[in-house]
Amino acid sequence: MRYYSTQRPITPGSYPKSPFNDVLQVVNFETRTYCEEIKCRAYGYIEYKYPLHPKDVESYELSVIPSKIKDIVFIGLDDFGCRTYKDQEGRIWKYAEPGEMPEERHDRLHTSLSNALGGEPGGTMDLDMDYRIKEAFTIE
Provide the pLDDT for residue 23. 95
CA R_g for the chain: 17
User: Between vectors from CA 125 to CA 132 and to CA 90, what angle results, nearest 5°?
Assistant: 65
Look at residue 31 and tell me whether its pLDDT is greater than 60. yes
Task: For the chain, give every domain's residue range.
Answer: 2-64, 68-134
Provide the pLDDT for residue 138. 62
Q: How far is CA 11 from CA 17, 29, 50, 134, in A?
A: 12, 12, 20, 38
Q: How far is CA 132 from CA 12, 44, 114, in A?
A: 34, 24, 23
Mean pLDDT of 118-126: 88
Provide the pLDDT for residue 127. 74
Rounded to two decimals, what is the model's pTM? 0.58
